Amino acid sequence: MSQQFKSAAIAFLSFAITILMSCSSTEGQGSGGLEPVISAPQIVDGFMCASVFEDKPVGIDNDFWVDDVVYIWLTWENMSGTREVKIVWVDPRDNLYETKKSYSSKDGKLTTYFWLDTTASATPGEWLAEVYLDGVFVRSYSFWLNSLSMMNL
């Protein structure tokens, strides 16, 4: 073997060993993050609750009964101009119920709340409240809607 071939083989083996040693036995795990743009609208606080009194959430919970009124209460920052906030309520059978409203804020701060007036025929189980701002998905909140028959379990 030539000296040049030996040098290339050693360099390749060194590279391969470095790559193999940098691999972890915990494949599939990791994290990442992205700082939001400072001027981008964002939710500061968000809760599912049983009521809203004087623009504040009351009875913060993720567990409600069929025939309750369920609220989603959100505070926002950087909400300049007129913005449309939409909530898509998703029941356990993937039926959708939509509520939306346009808002304006002079100082960029905003509190919004929406409600779902469930009925006795509402589907019990895990529901989602998906939040959209100007048609773009922001995040979702889950909550449970329990039937009265579940109370006897």
Q: Please write the tens of the pLDDT for every residue from 104-153.
A: 998 999 999 999 999 888 999 999 999 999 999 999 999 999 997 655 54
pLDDT at 85: 97
Average pLDDT over residues 25-47: 70
DSSP label at 16?
A: H
Contacts of 21 by beta carbon, 8 Å cutoff, 6+ apart:
none
Q: pLDDT higher for 10 or 129?
A: 129
pLDDT at 148: 75
Coil, strand, or helix at residue 144? strand
Q: Count of H helices and E strands in the chain?
A: 1, 9
Is 14 contained in some domain? Answer: no
Is 80 contained in some domain? Answer: yes
62 lies in which domain range? 42-152
Residue 19 pLDDT class (50, 70, 90 cuts): very low
Q: Is the pLDDT of residue 8 over 60?
A: no
Number of structural domains found in the chain: 1
Contacts of 119 by beta carbon, 8 Å cutoff, 6+ apart:
66, 67
pLDDT at 3: 64
Is 9 contained in some domain? Answer: no
Is 6 contained in some domain? Answer: no
Is 19 contained in some domain? Answer: no
Is 137 contained in some domain? Answer: yes
pLDDT at 26: 45
Average pLDDT over residues 21-47: 66
Quick check: pTM over 0.75?
Answer: no
Is 112 contained in some domain? Answer: yes
Query: In the chain, what percentage of residues exceed pLDDT 70?
Result: 72
Q: Indicate the burial class of 9 (C-beta count within 10 angstroms; 0-12, 13-18, 19 or more).
A: exposed
Is 23 contained in some domain? Answer: no
Q: Please write the tens of the pLDDT for every residue from 39-87.
A: 889 999 999 999 999 999 999 999 999 999 999 999 999 998 899 999 9
Strand order in 81-90's β-sheet?
63-65, 136-146, 125-133, 81-90, 96-105
Give the domain CATH number at 133: 2.60.40.1930
Q: CA torsion 61→62→63→67, rounded to 10°?
A: 90
